[in-house]
Amino acid sequence: MVAPSPNFDDRDGFIWFDGELIPWRDARVHVLTHALHYASSVFEGQRAYNGQIFKLTEHSERLRKSAALLGFELPWSVDEINAACVEVLKANNFTDAYMRPVAWRGSESMGVAPGKTQPHLAIAAWEWGKYYEPRDSANGIRLDIAPWRRPAPYTAPTESKAAGLYMICTLSKQHAESRGYNDALMFDWRGRVAEATGANVFFVRDGELHTPTPDCFLDGITRRTIKDLAGRRGITVNERAIWPEELESFEQMFLTGTAVEVTPVQSAGPYTFEVGDMTRQLAKDYDDLVNGRIPNA
């Protein structure tokens, strides 16, 4: 089997684009697309396991909600987006894959105001294993403390999975990797613990879970799934404000997200954690769930 090109614009396969499957290399937009200049774009990250896209409807619902929060309505229903995602998976002969639906405003008008721009939607899929190196995923990743903070909800549509909100994530992860870390832990505008650059965070102390209140960042679909799985095991989940000085009191830390799944953390800045039994158990529970070995949460 020939490995795919590392360049995402030069691959075999098909991408669903505004209602039809087209060859991968033909999925292009104009340089004066509104989204490129003014960040009027939203997206989803989702995974398929054994031919089934995990929590597909929740992802499609969130995509439409994100677009609405940015002021544009997608003409495709949740059911139509679901069907398109399944079509992409089958057209590319994938059973296990990462999927990226992305919606944006087009090039019909140029200027800060969107004018008569039309909404567009594309869906791509590719094979993607562990987000971090497998060894790091098992032994725990190392996080830097990000130089950028999550914005207040009155400064940006923080409930949307909007492309523009990821600019500070890119800067923070790039900064962390340049310093030898895997990723970065971000605080919010108040100085509270928020999330990593593309994943939610959980902590373990005295047999209970603690996670920041998602009032200025996404309440992730994987995050909610882990809360449900913890509930099945009778584990108390404390969703609350967490300040950085509290980090030294936690025994374990892990990240959750579609891309990272459940990834243990061995350190965040000066704070260190063990990869303990609760983290390993919830990681196993999540793997069993997405692969159909236990009923859906």
So which residues are the catalytic ones? 161
Report how far residue 48's alpha carbon sits from residue 50's, in angstroms, rounded to the nearest whole number: 7
- The alpha-carbon radius of gyration of the chain (Å, integer) is 19
Listed in sequence order, the residues at least 6 apart from 176 whose beta carbon sits closer than 8 Å to its beta carbon are 143, 144, 146, 182, 183, 184, 197
Listed in sequence order, the residues at least 6 apart from 190 whose beta carbon sits closer than 8 Å to its beta carbon are none
Sign, CA dihedral 268-271-275-277, equals: negative
Report how far residue 131's alpha carbon sits from residue 110's, in angstroms, rounded to the nearest whole number: 36
Give the pair of three-digit tokens for residue 83.
Answer: 């069907």
Report how far residue 99's alpha carbon sits from residue 76's, in angstroms, rounded to the nearest whole number: 18
Q: Dihedral through CA 200, CA 206, CA 207, CA 213, nearest 10?
A: -30
In single-letter form, the type of residue at position 43 comes to F
